[in-house]
Amino acid sequence: MARRFANPSETKERVPLKKRALDAMDNFKGSQFMTSVFRPGSIFRKGYTDSPRNRSYVVMNSVLYHLHPVKVKRHAVKVSYTLCLGGLSFFLFIMLTVTGIFLMFFYRPTAAQAWNDIRTLQTSVTFGLLVRNMHRWAAHLMVLSVFLHMARVFYHGAYKPPREFNWVIGVILLTLTLLLSFTGYLLPWDQLALWAVTVGTNMMGYTPVFGQQVRFVLLGGVEISTDTLLRWYVLHVLMFPFVIVIFMAVHFWRVRKDGGISGPL
């Protein structure tokens, strides 16, 4: 063995491992399987050249990549510019959805069962207390992060044209976030929730002209009862999440259409 390596011309003929791996990869990319699955110009097919135009095609033509922008401004990916607060708000929303689905398996929205279900969830269900607390903390944090995101947008003047429409969508998102938080607050059906909702609905009862009607709709009756719980439960788990998802989709789409994230000050 020592003699073989001593001869430099012999070692040159040996194909380096890296080249062999690249050749194997090239052959795989040129295989019938890869050419029939991926479109011409894809990085997964043989013959792809790394040019700005091809990069754009890859993003535009891929089912996975097409949600991403073709080009991203350098400052837009700097954490110090957005502080990732919009992304964080979205992450918290996903977390709330996942933990909320878990909670739904153990919770029944009636005055007789709600509080007991929450107590059983905390004491007898595996990871019940953890998931409930994750849901609660994520809700508090989402209100905070959405508010801070709004403050960041305001500080950078990103509410000005062409982003004024997205600012309005943002205000609707903030309102929906607060409504989700408030409707969720009633669900444990404990003293804290009961009196918070009593105060809230009484305040809304002072709406000029339609005050009593507004209060009636919110309570599902003339006073707080199991009907109120059912009403707020449906709003919390179905109506508001559904509406907020639609507005979030419009919000993200507008960020792209308005030319990406605004520039630094």
| Binding of ligand HEM by 139 (CB under 6 A) | no
146 binds ligand HEM (CB under 6 A): yes
Q: Which of 40, 87, 162, 264 forms a contact with ligand HEM (CB under 6 A)?
A: 87
Q: Interface with ligand HEM includes 96 (CB under 6 A)?
A: no
Query: What is the nearest approach in angstroms of ligand HEM to the Cβ of residue 254?
Result: 8
CB 79, min distance to ligand HEM, A: 10
Q: Which x/- pattern, by CB under 6 A, does the window 22-61 give for ligand HEM?
A: ----------------------------------------
CB 131 within 8 A of CB 99: yes
Please pick, from the candidates 132, 163, 215, 231, the single residue that binds ligand HEM as defined by CB under 6 A.
163
The backbone region for 209, taken as left when phi is positive above 0, alpha when psi lies in -120 to 50, beta otherwise, is left
Type of residue at 192: L
Q: How many CB atoms lie within 10 A of CB 52?
A: 9
- 187 vs 255, beta carbon nearer ligand HEM: 255
* Residue nearer to ligand HEM on the CB measure, 139 or 158: 158
Rounded CA gap, 183 and 241, in Å? 11
Rounded to whole angstroms, the Cα distance separating 69 from 256 reads 7
213 and 92 Cβ atoms separated by less than 8 Å: no
Confirm if 189 and 111 have CB atoms less than 8 A apart: yes
Q: Residue 262 interacts with ligand HEM (CB under 6 A)?
A: yes
Is the CB of residue 240 less than 8 Å from the CB of residue 176? yes
Residue partners of 151: CB distance under 8 A and separation at least 6: none
CB of 187 to ligand HEM, least distance (A): 20
Element (H, E) at 206: none
Q: How many CB atoms neighbour CB 229 within 10 A?
A: 23
Distance CA 19, CA 63 (A): 31
- Any contact of residue 201 with ligand HEM (CB under 6 A)? no
**Could you tell me which stretch among 110-118, 167-175, 187-195, 196-204 binds ligand HEM (CB under 6 A)?**
167-175
Q: Is 250 in the site for ligand HEM (CB under 6 A)?
A: no
Contact region for ligand HEM (CB under 6 A) — 60-68, 87-95, 120-128, 212-220?
Answer: 87-95
| Site membership for ligand HEM, residue 185 (CB under 6 A) | no
Q: Is the separation of the CB atoms in 46 and 26 below 8 Å?
A: yes
What are the residues binding ligand HEM (CB under 6 A)?
82, 84-87, 89-90, 146, 149-150, 153, 156, 158-159, 163, 166-167, 170-171, 173-174, 177, 248, 251, 255, 261-262
